[in-house]
Amino acid sequence: MTTDEAIASELRPEGGPVYVRVADAIHSAVLAGRLQPGDRLPAQRALAARLAVDFTTITRAYGLARERGLLEGEVGRGTFIRSTAGEEIRSVVDLSMNLPPQPFGVSLAAALDEEMSRILKRSDLAAVMAYRAPTGAAPERAAGARWLEPLLGKAVDAARVVVTAGAQAGLNAVMQVRLRPGDGLVVDDLTYPGLIAAARQRGLRLITVEADEEGMSPDALEAACRNGAARALYLVPTLYNPTAATLGEERRRRLAQIARRHDLTIIEDDAYGRLPDTPTPAVAVFAPERTFHVATLSKSLSPGLRTAFVVAPDEAAAKAVADAAHAQAMMPAPLMSAVFAGWMQTGAAEALLAGVRTEAAARRAIAAEVLPTAQGGANSLHVWLDLPARLDRLALAELARERGLGVATSDLFAAGAPPNGLRLSLGAPGTRASLTRGLKALAELTA
């Protein structure tokens, strides 16, 4: 097969500008092995004649393929498939997994290495490696309490803190303690998939309410509570997953007042609460007697820590949550929670958080430049992209996958009917250059 035949065989008959489709055809031919590194492409006029398109269309297509890292050329010799093209385009740019980026200006690996070395030299190493009390070890509960002070607005009583093996374990434990099969749980119409799965597994009835650009609507929550079926309210108040909206302080106050009026338990999933430079007070500040504040380290530091903290309304509630979490997963990994406690003592936790904030802000700026219509806060790890009616989100996600892009469609987050949109996670790509490449490729697909 000649090179022009290879490109023609991969050319889609429709779906976007012709020059983009020609560049896509070159991309697909490399992935399929029809074009190999070092292959010389047809002269632009020859390929234009072969495909029955304008010469300028091929010029733009070659230019776009060169920007994607597929082509290289030398004056007088021609245009060739780059030697690293196959490796580069086969590397997936994952915009679907919501991870914090590697922190800017500070090494996560070095911080882990240093703290592990300290732990291994501790005289109480055997205790660190042993089974823990259901609530978690006292030093780690105290570390969690200090970590959450910027959100909860005052010194947190460590006796109300439970260490769990991530937010999912904490959420499950709270639901086990406070809700029974058939109870109504109020959620945004788009919400965290892990919550949807856990609630359905427990036989809870999800009551969806509308949100606006700030998040959950107080009027919609009030209306949802009128028939008395609701027993609890689930909120992600900061950089909401998936739309990246953040509830303002007054909105948090109003939602807390409604929950109190209707005697709802509040489950506050504050995974992203510490990412903003100036955190907004948690919902728990406005209704402490009924709020279970769940805060994982997975989004602010690293999911590898597998550590979260549940701040319960009182010690009795904390014990109940600890017993429920203990029955499900025995305990969080003691070594990882000990690492975090050590980081809190040395200041490494705050330094790492500052690095994550800086890198997240830089990546959010890239997304704003490449996809100006994407929604999300300054330090958000993800953005939300509404799609026009002419683009089907599922077809677009499949096309993106073929191009080496992972994206998350609204279907993953919908407790009701999914809108036509995508969540794009900014932290998983290893470098800003990789993120930029992925976002530009998506921008081309949505143009």
The tens digit of pLDDT for each residue in 119-176 reads 999 888 888 888 888 889 999 999 999 999 999 987 799 999 999 999 999 999 999 9
Whether the pLDDT of residue 16 is over 80: the answer is no
For residue 295, the cross-strand partners are 309
Whether the pLDDT of residue 86 is over 80: the answer is no
List alpha helices for 69-137, DSSP H: 85-90, 108-120, 125-128
For residue 406, the cross-strand partners are 94
Q: How many CB atoms lie within 10 A of CB 172?
A: 24
* CA atoms within 13 A of residue 216's CA, in its CB half-sphere: 35
Whether the pLDDT of residue 76 is over 80: the answer is no
Q: Which pLDDT value is given to residue 192?
A: 96
Q: Which pLDDT value is given to residue 1?
A: 79
The band of 375, judged by pLDDT with boundaries at 50, 70 and 90, is very high
The band of 422, judged by pLDDT with boundaries at 50, 70 and 90, is very high
**pLDDT (average), residues 380-405:** 93
Q: Which pLDDT value is given to residue 416?
A: 83
**pLDDT (average), residues 20-41:** 84
The mean of the pLDDT values for the chain is: 92
Whether the pLDDT of residue 12 is over 90: the answer is no
Distance separating alpha carbons of residues 38 and 410, to the nearest angstrom: 41
Whether the pLDDT of residue 311 is over 60: the answer is yes
Region of poorest pLDDT, from 15-24, 161-170, 188-197, 230-239: 15-24
**pLDDT (average), residues 241-252:** 96
Distance separating alpha carbons of residues 159 and 314, to the nearest angstrom: 8
- Is the whole model's pTM more than 0.85, yes or no? no
Residues 202/176, Cβ–Cβ less than 8 Å: yes
3-state helix, strand, coil in the chain (%, to 5): 45, 15, 40
Whether the pLDDT of residue 65 is over 90: the answer is no
Percentage of the chain lying above the pLDDT 90 cut: 72
**pLDDT (average), residues 243-251:** 97
In degrees, rounded to 5, the angle at the alpha carbon of residue 146 between the alpha carbons of residues 143 and 148 is: 110
The band of 369, judged by pLDDT with boundaries at 50, 70 and 90, is very high
Which residues, other chains included, contact 354 with Cβ-Cβ below 8 Å and sequence gap of 6+? 103, 106
Whether the pLDDT of residue 90 is over 60: the answer is no
Q: Which pLDDT value is given to residue 161?
A: 97
Angle between helices 334-346 and 348-370 (to 10 degrees): 90
Q: Who wins on pLDDT, 67 or 5?
A: 5
**pLDDT (average), residues 328-339:** 90
> What is the per-residue pLDDT across 203-233, written as a single tens digit (0 to 9) for each?
999 999 999 999 999 999 999 999 889 999 9
Q: Who wins on pLDDT, 200 or 430?
A: 200
**Token duo for residue 124:** 């109480």
Residue 386: strand, helix, or coil: strand
Beta strands in 297-381 (DSSP E): 308-311
Residue listed under structure tokens 């009795």: 316
Residue 163: strand, helix, or coil: strand
Whether the pLDDT of residue 89 is over 60: the answer is no
**pLDDT (average), residues 90-99:** 83
Residues 208/196, Cβ–Cβ less than 8 Å: no
